[in-house]
Amino acid sequence: EDGYDLWLRHRLVADRSMLAHYRAAIDHVVVLGNHPVLRSAGEELARGLSGLLGRAIPVRNEVGKGAVVVGVNVLSPESLARLGPEGFMVKRLDGPERVVISSAGEQGALYGAFRFLQHLQRQLPLNQVDMADRPASPLRMINHWDNLNRSVERGYAGKSIFVWDELPELRERYVDYARVLASVGINHTVVNNVNASAEFLRSERLPGLAALAGVLRSWGVRLWVSANYASPITLTKDQADPITVADPLDPRVQQWWQDKIEEIYRIIPDFGGFLVKANSEGQPGPLDYGRTHAEGANMLADRLAPHDGRLVWRSFVHEGFDDWAEHQYRVFHPLDGQFHENAVVQTKNGPIDFQVREPVNPLFGGLPRTNQLIELQVTQEYTGHSTHLCYLVPEWKTILDFPTYTGTGSWPTVSDVVTGAAYGQENVGFAGVGNLGDDRDWTGYQLGAANLHGFARLAWDPTATADEVVTEWIELTFGCDRRVGSVLKAIMLQSWQVYESYTSPLGMGYLTYPLGAHFAPAPTTTQNLSHHTTAEGTGFDRTEATGSGYTGLYAQHWQDVYGSLERCPDELLLFMHWVPYTHQLHSGKTVIQHIYDSHFDGYERVLEFQRAWSRLKGQVDASRHGDIAATFDDHVVEAERWRDTIVAYFFGWSRILSTGPGWLQLAFPSGRLLFGGVPNSLDLEITNANSAEQS
Ligand code: BDP
């Protein structure tokens, strides 16, 4: 048990009566058709069922009693057509007794096969197996930030899975990678970093990418590449007559892309398209030539369109404005309606950069005539790498359920926008910055895989609750033991807010060194970027009345809520407002007391996680139990570091020791008031905090 199987863990069913029930009902697999995706479905069923039932379940040609049949249009074609080529039905039929998994398309049949296996992994009775399901959003995509040297930007799970220089030679693991994606309905993958090397498009590299695409194709996943916008310059520089610009309106540039795209489609006929990060963090782009993002995107989109390719263009741009949070909206909102049909704008969930808490990016309400993908960060760049447990599904739910109020009533929510429910678009969906690497457990720590699973499940069905999603993941990964399930579920579901509480409560935002690893606390380095902390108070005034004006980018409803000190929710207060330390929250506490308390409480909760997990010793296999226990040990150390640094930082500025009951304020040489009172336990801890920071 080293975690390699992730949620595709097809071990012998533990419940004996359920095992007997399955064994009596399942005997063989029948694949109707010869399509590679159907063959994958058949292979997966045979392998998975053999593991679960502890006996060989072969693939046969004839349907007999106990068959698990998979194929296209095997059940009522009208019902299947309604579910679309990626939707599926699973039904138990008689005469002979069999289970039928079917869809209007091969891909749906594959998804149905995985879902059937999951049903058995969860030890559910076969009389509950009848299902009909379809994905909510068309594009369900993983973004790898993998480089040619196999380093992974913001990756915490070893090197890239892809051994670029060895391709087109294929590794076994690529098949397992494709299975992992398909098992939760991911249908597109961008294999290289958005900070893209033009080398990925060099002709010599394409056969390697084609080989990889071939593996993915059998599992219904399309391969994409992140394209560097200056590729025509980089890749022609050794020619006699090199191209020296990347201007999208330059005919030579256009012709270069046209030829490149045709070259790609000749060997990868189902190539997904390009993902582009342009004019962001030093990347080249159309703005270098006085063109807009839409002009830049459309030039590529038009050339991909005849091949059924798409162009995804990121809206993550932040240079040049005083308030980073506003920049994306100010640049992209005026372009609404200008992007062509197969161009998609990919927008990060919040206006800054994947912080533990941010308001919803106002662009989700601000681009009704543009196809949008929501970009969520599965890899825990700002949320603890592979050391802090931080299960992100509860956070993503708050984002997806956010009502924009840009239509009528509170409509549409973010998930309505990215599923196409709001504006009927088809090129919309989800992009997750992945957390996969070549570590044996794939995601660097055992519990990190839950974020990948959760991302994919929400992309499939954003109405699923965090409780449902995590329960499914736990049962598929650790089995169905009730005690293990309830302890782990409680830990997982609290972990995001706990992480927030000992790092950056009240929407404070970015408190790690901006140019570094984004792991350890460094609040002094983000002064002015994310907070304006002084001796009197903290926060960032983003109101229209007195601040940057960011709150004005939302629909009236949110302008009123966020703009008002009274109505702004506590968890975003310091994102929207600058307040004195003694400002009273809705909870009744002062801001400074909340900062202190939440850091101490959060740390205590991590200790509780550690203790609760250690009590499960003997109930989870020893190797994974030990592995996770070791991660919690590190987690405790890091949580303490955050607590002490942030508490010391705010104490250092405010010089307010405590404003709670029996409160005490101390005078320091800067000459503030001294009141008497009963000190609480904070003062001792603060002594430690100061010495910790100094050391
Ligand atoms: C930031 C990361 C950086 C990425 C950038 C992006 O720190 O490594 O390149 O986002 O999304 O979060 O482009």
Contact between 68 and 93 (Cβ < 8 Å): no
Identify whether 28 is part of a domain.
Answer: yes
Q: 423 and 520 share a domain?
A: no
pLDDT category, 693, cuts 50, 70, 90? very low
Which of 154, 190, 318, 379 to mutate for ligand 1's pocket (most ligand atoms within 8 Å of CB)? 154
C-alpha 69 – ligand 1 centre gap (Å): 45
Tell me how crowded residue 604 is: count the other CB atoms within 10 A of its CB: 14
Q: In this structure, what CATH number is given to the domain that contains residue 605?
A: 3.90.1330.10
Q: Looking at per-residue confidence, does 290 or 657 come out higher? A: 290
| Ligand 1 atom at minimal distance to the Cα of residue 518 | 7
pLDDT digits (tens, 9 = 90+) for 2-39: 999 999 999 999 999 999 999 999 999 999 999 999 99
Q: Please tell me the predicted confidence (pLDDT) of residue 321.
A: 64
Q: Please tell me the predicted confidence (pLDDT) of residue 319.
A: 81
Catalytic residue numbers, as ranges: 281, 353, 381
Task: Provide the 3-class DSSP secondary structure of residue 348.
Answer: strand
Instruction: State which of 133, 159, 183 marks the end of a domain.
Output: 133
Task: Provide the 3-class DSSP secondary structure of residue 309.
Answer: coil
Identify whether 458 is part of a domain.
Answer: yes
Pairing outcome for strands 88-93 and 98-103: antiparallel
Q: Please tell me the predicted confidence (pLDDT) of residue 673.
A: 34
The residue length of the chain stands at 695
Q: What is the mean pLDDT of residues 199-227?
A: 98
For residue 41, give the nearest of 221, 218, 222, 270 by alpha carbon.
Answer: 218
Query: Residue 3, CB half-sphere, CA atoms under 13 Å: how many?
Result: 23
Q: 562 and 597 share a domain?
A: no
Q: How far apart are CA 606 and CA 102, in angstroms?
A: 45
Q: 287 and 397 share a domain?
A: yes
Identify whether 301 is part of a domain.
Answer: yes
Q: What is the mean pLDDT of residues 412-427?
A: 97
| Ligand 1 atom at minimal distance to the Cα of residue 193 | 9
Contact between 108 and 83 (Cβ < 8 Å): yes
Maximum Cα–Cα distance across the chain? 89
Domain interval for residue 604: 498-540+577-694
Q: In this structure, what CATH number is given to the domain that contains residue 72?
A: 3.30.379.10
Q: How far, in Å, are 121, 430, 492, 500 from residue 392 at the CA level?
A: 24, 15, 9, 11
Q: In this structure, what CATH number is given to the domain that contains residue 458?
A: 3.20.20.80
| Ligand 1 atom at minimal distance to the Cα of residue 154 | 8
Give the contacts of 451 (CB within 8 A, at least 6 positions apart): 378, 380, 391, 392, 393, 435, 443
C-alpha 315 – ligand 1 centre gap (Å): 12
pLDDT digits (tens, 9 = 90+) for 561-583: 999 999 999 999 999 999 999 99
Give the contacts of 382 (CB within 8 A, at least 6 positions apart): 353, 354, 355, 356, 510, 512, 518
* Closest residue by CA, ligand 1 atom 11: 316
C-alpha 644 – ligand 1 centre gap (Å): 27
Q: What is the mean pLDDT of residues 400-429?
A: 97
Q: 145 and 55 share a domain?
A: no
Q: Please tell me the predicted confidence (pLDDT) of residue 337.
A: 98
Q: 143 and 62 share a domain?
A: no
Residue 102 DSSP symbol: E
* Closest residue by CA, ligand 1 atom 1: 353
Block residue for tokens 């960060």? 377
Q: Please tell me the predicted confidence (pLDDT) of residue 666.
A: 38
pLDDT digits (tens, 9 = 90+) for 636-659: 999 999 999 999 999 999 999 876
Q: 505 and 377 share a domain?
A: no
Q: 602 and 460 share a domain?
A: no
Q: 514 and 659 share a domain?
A: yes
Give the contacts of 381 (CB within 8 A, at least 6 positions apart): 154, 354, 433, 518
C-alpha 146 – ligand 1 centre gap (Å): 12
Q: What is the mean pLDDT of residues 230-238?
A: 98
| Ligand 1 atom at minimal distance to the Cα of residue 195 | 9
Q: How far, in Å, are 395, 420, 446, 473 from residue 465 at the CA level?
A: 11, 20, 22, 12
C-alpha 288 – ligand 1 centre gap (Å): 20
Q: 110 and 179 share a domain?
A: no
Q: How many domains does the chain have?
A: 4
Q: 247 and 301 share a domain?
A: yes
Q: % helix / strand / coil in the chain, to the nearest 5?
A: 45, 15, 45
Q: 419 and 508 share a domain?
A: no
Q: Is the ipTM of this complex over 0.95?
A: yes
Mean pLDDT of the chain: 94
C-alpha 451 – ligand 1 centre gap (Å): 18
Q: Please tell me the predicted confidence (pLDDT) of residue 694.
A: 31
Q: Please tell me the predicted confidence (pLDDT) of residue 509.
A: 86
C-alpha 316 – ligand 1 centre gap (Å): 9
Show the tokens assigned to 349: 């969930």
Q: Please tell me the predicted confidence (pLDDT) of residue 659.
A: 62
Give the contacts of 149 (CB within 8 A, at least 6 positions apart): none
pLDDT digits (tens, 9 = 90+) for 323-362: 999 999 999 999 999 999 999 999 999 999 999 999 999 9
| Ligand 1 atom at minimal distance to the Cα of residue 348 | 11
Identify whether 148 is part of a domain.
Answer: yes
Could you give the angle at which helices 106-121 and 36-53 cross, rounded to 10 degrees?
10
Identify whether 11 is part of a domain.
Answer: no
Instruction: State which of 552, 574, 596 marks the end of a domain.
Output: 574
Q: How far apart are CA 426 and CA 420, in angstroms?
A: 6
- Residue ranges lining ligand 1, Cβ < 6 Å: 153-154, 194-195, 277, 281, 316, 353-354, 381
- Long-range contacts of 402-405, Cβ-Cβ distance < 8 Å, separation of 24 or more: 402/360, 402/364, 404/360, 404/364, 404/365, 404/554, 404/555, 405/365, 405/554, 405/555, 405/556, 405/557, 405/558
Counting Cβ atoms within 10 Å, is residue 580 exposed (0-12), middle (13-18) or buried (19+)? middle
Identify whether 604 is part of a domain.
Answer: yes
Q: Please tell me the predicted confidence (pLDDT) of residue 691.
A: 34
Contact between 68 and 61 (Cβ < 8 Å): no
Show the tokens assigned to 194: 């958005």
pLDDT digits (tens, 9 = 90+) for 496-515: 999 999 999 999 989 999 99
Show the tokens assigned to 505: 């409560």
Alpha helices, DSSP H only, in 427-481? 449-460, 466-478
Which of 381, 383, 513, 530 to mutate for ligand 1's pocket (most ligand atoms within 8 Å of CB)? 381
Identify whether 370 is part of a domain.
Answer: yes
Q: Please tell me the predicted confidence (pLDDT) of residue 657.
A: 85
- Long-range contacts of 232-236, Cβ-Cβ distance < 8 Å, separation of 24 or more: 232/256, 232/257, 234/198, 234/199, 235/198, 235/201, 235/202
Q: 161 and 228 share a domain?
A: yes
Task: Provide the 3-class DSSP secondary structure of residue 52.
Answer: helix
Q: What is the mean pLDDT of residues 292-313?
A: 98
Instruction: State which of 555, 574, 593 marks the end of a domain.
Output: 574
pLDDT digits (tens, 9 = 90+) for 106-127: 999 999 999 999 999 999 999 9
pLDDT surpasses 50 at 523:
yes
pLDDT category, 665, cuts 50, 70, 90? very low
Identify whether 415 is part of a domain.
Answer: yes
